[in-house]
C-alpha cells in the first residue's frame, strides 16, 4: 500500500447550517501534510446517508486515503457508523475493550453507563479500533482494496489526541516515497501586492517543483515555499537557498524566519532579551493577552494585564488622568500613551502595550468613526503610538487591533536597543 | 429562477495544507440558511485550474447556486478569475468603476496604484460586479442556465461586508417558496448522551419535517429544531410548540431560550439585574474577558479584568496572600477564592470570576496534573468554586476553563437572589 493523496470529509448538519466553525480539517490537513500526504480535496456534508455514500465513492475514486470527522455521537442525528457498515457491507459488532473503557470512563465520573452510551462500543466488524482515551466514540480504521478509511469523532481535542496518539503513527507505515517540504517566513508592515511587486523577479525564477504562496492575515503576510520531490534533505536545501536569495529584497519587513505567528515572534525576542511584557486593553478586552498566552512557555515573559473596559478602571487602576479622558476621550493618542506608560510602572514590566478603540457597531462619531483604534507601546521612558482605521465590523476591528498591537510591540522591541 | 440549494467552494492552497482556519464557510452557510437556501455540500480545493473546473461542474450538477471564496488576490498563486473565464468561455475586461475605486483606495492611503493592483480591476466580461469597499478584489456575480455563481474574496471581513451589503439582497429576488426555520436552545451542565436519554420519548414524536440536532461545545449543548415547509409563521409555531413540550423535562439545564452562547446569556442576565462583572484570570490569560467583550453592548455590564499570569501580580495587584500561594499553590481552591473576593473589591464590581489552572503541556505534577483548573465566582460575600480536570492539550484546557467559568458565573447569578 502506498498512500500519496487524501481527502477529508466533515459530517454534520451543524456544519452545513453554519452553527459551528470547523477547526478539525485545518489540523488534519497540517498533520497529513507533515507526513507528505497531499490533501487534494476537503468536503462537508450533512447527516444524510445517501450523501455520505456518494461522497465516499467520489473521494475514493480520487484519493488513497479518506479521513472523516463527526457523526459518531450516540444520538439519533449521528449516522456515520451505520452508513460505513452499509458502504463496506459489514455489520456492527460489540468491541469489548471499548465497552470496558466506557464503563471505567463513567465510573470515574461517578455515573452509570447508559444504554445510549453503550451504543458507542459497537463498531463495524471490518474495522480496527483505535481507542479514544478522551471521550466515548472510538476511532475506526478500515483498509480495503489498497485504500484506507479513518473515521474520527468530531470533538476537536478527542480527534487531535487520536491523530497524534495513533493515527499518524499507523499512517507512517503506509506512505509512498514522494515527500513535500514547506518553509514559511513571516512578514509584516507590507501588503500582499506590494510584497509581490518587490519579489516578482525572484518569484519568476523558481523552478517548477517549488511553489510560492502568499498567506495574508490582518497586517501580516506569510510567504511559503512548498517543494515536492523524493529527498527531504535535498528539498530543504533548495528551499533554504531560494529563501536566502529573497531576504535582502524584503529585509525590513521580515518578522521571523522560524515561527508562523507574531505572538511567537514576540516570545522569541523577549526570551532572547530577557524582558517581560504586560498589556492594558480596552476594546480588545483581553484578546491581546490571550493571544500571548496561547504560546506555550509564555509565563517566562508575560506577567499579566489590566483590561480597562470602563473609564473608571482606566482612571482608578491604570491612573489615566480624568482630564485626559475629558479633553481627548478614551479613544485618543493621549489616553493610550498614559495607559502604556503607567502600566509598565504598575505592573513592573519592561514593555507595556495599550489599546483603546471603538469596536462597534455602536459608539462611533463623525470625528471618530467605528473602527478608530489607538495603540501604544512603552518601556516607561520611550513610548510609540499608532492610529488604525478598521471597518464597521466589531469582530474584524478587535482582530485587527490585536494583531497590529502585537506587531507594534515586536517592532518596538526589535528597534529599541537599550530598554532601561 | 428559483434558488433552493447551494454549494460553497473554498479555493486556496493555504486551506489544503492547513495553514489557516476557514471561517468563511461558516458565515456563508448561516447567511444562506437564513434566506432558506439549503447548503448541501461544502468543498475546499487548491489553486489548481483543472480541479476548480471539475468541482464547478460537479457542484452545478447538484445545486442551483455556487458560492466561491478565495483565489481573487493579485498574486500569481491566485487563479480563480482566469479559471472562471475559461469555464464560462468569457474573457477578462477592465471594469472602470473598480479601477477608479482602486485609485481612490490607494490615494487615501498615500500610495500609488501599482501594476499588480491594477489587475484587480479586470473581471470576466460575463459577470456583474458587486463593489468591494473594504478591499481591492471585486465580487463577481454570474447567471447562466438558471444557475448562479458568486465569487467572493477570501479575506473574512471583506467577504462578510460584501454578503451583508449586496449579495444577500440580490439573492432574495431569486428564491423558491420553500422555507427553513431553525430555533435553538442553550443547555449546560449535562452531557449530550444524558440529555438524549432524558428527551428520547419527546424526540421520537417529532414529525418527519422537523429535525433535532445536538450541538455540544465544551460543557454546553445546544438543541436545535429545524423545520422545512412553505410557511415560516406556521413552521415557527410548530417548532415553538414542540420546544414547549420539552422544557419541563430539562428545565434545570436550560440556560437560554433566546441566545446561542453562554456569554450572551450572561449579558442578558446582568442587564436585567443591573449588575456589573469583572474577571481575574491566570491560565485563561484574558480569554474569558475577550469572550464577554465579543458581545456587542457588553460595556454596559463589563468593567474590566486583571490578568494575573505571574504570582507577583496575583499578590501585588489582586492581594492574594503570599502564604496562600506557598501553602496551597497558585492552582488551588484557596487561591481562586481570594482572587475572586479581592477582585470584586478592587474593581468595585458586583460579580467577580477567577480562574487558575495548569494549561500545559508543561507544569503538571502527580498531585496536580496538566488540565487541573480551579474556578471561583464571588459577589464579595458569597463565593462558589469548582474544580475541573481537562486534558493534556493546552488549547482545549484554556477553552474548557473559559466556557466553564462563564457557566459557573451564569449559574451563580441566576441562583443568587440577593447580591448585597
**Helix, strand, or coil (residue A328):** helix
- C-alpha to C-alpha distance for B383 and B336, rounded to whole angstroms: 10
Q: Which of A197, A281, A316 sits opposite B114 (nearest CB)?
A: A197
**Helix, strand, or coil (residue A366):** coil
All cell numbers assigned to B306: 486583571
Closest-CA residue of B relative to A192 is B75
A393·B161 Cβ contact <8 A: yes
All cell numbers assigned to B415: 441562583
Candidates B193, B225, B284, B397, partner chain A, best to mutate (most A CBs within 10 A):
B193
Q: Model confidence at A420, in pLDDT bands (50, 70, 90)?
A: very low
B220 contacts: CB under 8 Å, gap ≥ 6:
B186, B187, B188, B255, B262, B403, B407
The ipTM (two decimal places) reads 0.77
pLDDT of residue A278: 98
pLDDT of residue A272: 94
Does the pLDDT of residue A262 top 70, yes or no? yes
Q: Which residues of A touch B208 (CB under 8 A)?
A: none
Q: How far apart are the first and last CA of chain B?
A: 62
B14·A215 Cβ contact <8 A: yes
Q: B319 near B342, Cβ under 8 Å?
A: yes
Please name which of A338, A230, A326 lies closest in space to residue A282, comparing C-alpha atoms.
A338
pLDDT of residue B172: 87
All cell numbers assigned to A279: 498589556
B285·A284 Cβ contact <8 A: no
Please name which of B83, B93, B28, B25 lies closest in space to residue B57, comparing C-alpha atoms.
B83
Min Cα distance B252 → chain A (Å) is 18
**CATH top-level class of B5-172:** alpha beta
A286·B283 Cβ contact <8 A: no
- Write down the architecture of domain B179-256 according to CATH: 2-Layer Sandwich (3.30)
Closest-CA residue of B relative to A13 is B213
Q: Which of A16, A192, A304 sits opposite B309 (nearest CB)?
A: A304
Q: Where are the domains of chain B?
A: 5-172, 179-256, 262-415
Q: Which residues of B touch A161 (CB under 8 A)?
A: 391-393
Candidates A213, A304, A392, partner chain B, best to mutate (most B CBs within 10 A):
A304
B288·A292 Cβ contact <8 A: no
- C-alpha to C-alpha distance for B401 and B389, rounded to whole angstroms: 9
Say if residue B417 is preceded by a cis peptide, omega within 30 of 0.
Answer: no
Min Cα distance B311 → chain A (Å) is 8
| Site of grid cell 515561527 | A259
Q: Which residues of B touch A361 (CB under 8 A)?
A: 296
Q: Which residues of A touch B283 (CB under 8 A)?
A: 293
Please report, for residues A178, B2, B80, B89, B90, the alpha-carbon distance to residue B55 in angstroms, rounded to integers and kept in the order given: 26, 22, 12, 17, 18
B290·A290 Cβ contact <8 A: yes
Q: Which of A117, A283, A305 sits opposite B193 (nearest CB)?
A: A117
Q: Model confidence at A248, in pLDDT bands (50, 70, 90)?
A: very high
A307·B305 Cβ contact <8 A: yes
| Site of grid cell 465513492 | A57
Q: Which residues of B touch A52 (CB under 8 A)?
A: none
Q: A13 near A44, Cβ under 8 Å?
A: no
Min Cα distance A33 → chain B (Å) is 6
A19·B222 Cβ contact <8 A: yes
Mean pLDDT of A160-172: 92
pLDDT of residue A315: 97
Please name which of A217, A235, A266 lies closest in space to residue A225, comparing C-alpha atoms.
A235
CATH T-level fold of B262-415: Maf protein (3.90.950)
**Helix, strand, or coil (residue B362):** coil
Closest-CA residue of B relative to A392 is B161
A224·B74 Cβ contact <8 A: no
Torsion from C-alpha of B228, B232, B236, B237, nearest 10 degrees: -110
Q: Which of B21, B134, B197 sits opposite A23 (nearest CB)?
A: B21
All cell numbers assigned to B126: 460575463
Q: Which residues of A touch B287 (CB under 8 A)?
A: 286, 290, 293
- C-alpha to C-alpha distance for A11 and A45, rounded to whole angstroms: 5
B10 contacts: CB under 8 Å, gap ≥ 6:
B22, B24, B25, B42, B43, B44, B45, B68, B69, B70, B154
Q: A181 near A232, Cβ under 8 Å?
A: yes
Candidates A18, A110, A292, partner chain B, best to mutate (most B CBs within 10 A):
A18
| Site of grid cell 455521537 | A73
Crossing angle of helices A80-88 and A49-62, rounded to 10°: 60
Closest-CA residue of B relative to A300 is B310
Min Cα distance B31 → chain A (Å) is 8
| Site of grid cell 459488532 | A93
Min Cα distance B126 → chain A (Å) is 26
pLDDT of residue B418: 54
Q: Which residues of A touch B194 (CB under 8 A)?
A: 111, 114
pLDDT of residue B80: 86
Do β-strands A147-152 and A139-144 pair in parallel, antiparallel, or remain unpaired?
Answer: antiparallel
Min Cα distance A223 → chain B (Å) is 11
Min Cα distance B288 → chain A (Å) is 8
B296·A361 Cβ contact <8 A: yes
**Helix, strand, or coil (residue B161):** helix
Please report, for residues A83, A395, B200, the alpha-carbon distance to residue A115 in angstroms, rounded to integers and kept in the order given: 21, 43, 12
| Site of grid cell 487531535 | A160
A285·B296 Cβ contact <8 A: no
Number of Cβ atoms within 10 Å of the Cβ of B205: 8
Q: Which residues of B touch A196 (CB under 8 A)?
A: 74-76, 116
H-type alpha helices, A199-332: 200-204, 232-250, 262-273, 287-293, 311-316, 322-328
Closest-CA residue of A relative to B400 is A157
Number of Cβ atoms within 10 Å of the Cβ of B311: 18
Min Cα distance A215 → chain B (Å) is 7
**Helix, strand, or coil (residue A202):** helix
B293·A313 Cβ contact <8 A: no
Q: Which residues of B touch A396 (CB under 8 A)?
A: 156-157, 160
B42·A216 Cβ contact <8 A: no
Closest-CA residue of B relative to A31 is B18
All cell numbers assigned to A92: 456492527
Please name which of B295, B298, B375 lies closest in space to residue B343, comparing C-alpha atoms.
B375
Instruction: Per residue of chain B (420 residues), give pLDDT as tens.
Output: 789 999 999 998 888 888 777 889 999 998 998 888 989 999 999 989 999 999 999 999 999 999 999 988 777 666 888 999 999 999 999 999 999 998 988 887 777 888 888 888 999 999 999 999 888 889 999 999 999 999 999 888 889 989 998 999 999 888 877 778 889 999 998 888 789 889 999 999 999 999 888 877 777 898 989 898 888 899 999 999 999 999 999 999 999 998 889 999 999 999 999 999 999 999 999 999 999 999 999 999 999 999 999 999 999 999 999 999 999 999 999 999 999 999 999 999 999 999 999 999 888 998 899 999 999 999 999 999 999 988 778 888 999 899 999 999 999 999 886 554
Q: Which of B42, B288, B304 sits opposite A43 (nearest CB)?
A: B42
Q: Which residues of B touch A283 (CB under 8 A)?
A: 293
Amino acid at each position: 500500500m502506498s498512500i500519496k493523496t487524501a481527502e477529508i470529509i466533515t459530517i454534520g448538519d451543524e456544519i452545513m447550517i453554519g452553527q459551528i466553525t470547523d477547526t478539525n480539517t485545518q489540523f488534519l490537513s497540517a498533520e497529513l501534510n507533515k507526513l507528505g500526504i497531499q490533501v487534494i480535496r476537503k468536503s462537508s456534508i450533512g447527516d444524510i446517508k445517501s450523501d455520505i455514500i456518494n461522497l465516499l465513492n467520489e473521494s475514493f475514486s480520487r484519493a488513497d486515503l479518506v479521513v472523516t470527522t463527526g457523526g459518531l455521537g450516540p444520538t439519533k442525528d449521528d449516522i456515520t457508523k451505520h452508513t460505513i457498515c452499509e458502504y463496506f457491507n459489514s455489520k456492527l459488532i460489540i468491541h469489548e475493550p471499548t465497552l470496558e473503557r466506557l464503563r471505567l470512563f463513567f465510573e470515574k465520573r461517578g455515573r452509570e453507563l447508559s444504554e445510549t452510551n453503550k451504543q458507542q462500543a459497537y463498531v463495524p466488524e471490518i474495522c480496527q479500533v483505535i481507542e479514544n482515551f478522551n471521550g466515548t466514540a472510538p476511532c475506526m480504521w478500515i483498509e480495503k482494496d489498497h485504500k484506507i478509511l479513518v473515521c474520527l469523532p468530531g470533538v476537536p481535542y478527542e480527534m487531535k489526541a487520536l491523530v497524534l496518539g495513533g493515527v499518524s503513527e499507523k499512517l507512517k507505515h503506509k506512505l509512498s516515497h514522494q515527500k513535500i517540504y514547506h518553509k514559511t517566513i513571516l512578514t509584516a508592515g507590507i501588503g500582499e501586492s506590494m510584497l509581490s511587486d518587490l519579489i516578482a523577479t525572484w518569484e519568476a525564477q523558481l523552478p517548477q517543483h517549488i511553489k510560492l504562496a502568499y498567506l495574508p492575515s490582518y497586517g501580516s503576510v506569510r510567504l511559503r515555499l512548498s517543494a515536492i520531490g523524493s529527498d527531504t534533505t535535498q528539498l530543504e536545501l533548495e528551499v533554504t537557498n531560494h529563501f536566502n536569495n529573497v531576504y535582502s529584497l524584503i529585509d525590513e519587513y521580515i518578522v521571523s524566519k522560524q515561527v508562523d505567528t507574531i505572538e511567537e515572534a514576540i516570545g522569541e525576542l523577549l526570551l532572547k532579551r530577557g524582558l517581560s511584557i504586560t498589556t492594558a486593553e480596552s476594546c480588545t478586552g483581553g484578546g491581546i493577552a490571550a493571544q500571548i498566552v496561547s504560546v506555550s512557555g509564555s509565563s517566562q515573559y508575560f506577567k499579566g494585564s489590566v483590561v480597562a473596559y470602563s473609564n473608571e478602571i482606566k482612571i482608578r487602576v491604570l491612573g489615566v488622568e480624568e482630564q485626559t479622558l475629558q479633553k481627548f476621550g478614551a479613544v485618543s493618542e493621549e489616553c493610550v500613551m498614559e495607559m502604556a506608560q503607567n502600566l509598565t510602572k504598575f505592573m513592573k514590566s519592561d514593555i507595556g502595550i495599550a489599546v483603546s478603540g471603538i469596536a462597534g457597531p455602536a459608539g462611533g462619531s463623525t470625528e471618530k468613526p467605528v473602527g478608530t483604534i489607538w495603540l501604544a507601546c512603552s518601556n516607561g521612558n520611550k513610548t510609540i503610538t499608532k492610529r488604525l482605521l478598521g471597518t464597521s465590523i466589531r469582530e474584524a476591528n478587535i482582530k485587527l487591533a490585536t494583531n497590529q498591537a502585537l506587531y507594534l510591540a515586536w517592532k518596538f522591541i526589535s528597534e529599541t536597543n537599550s530598554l532601561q
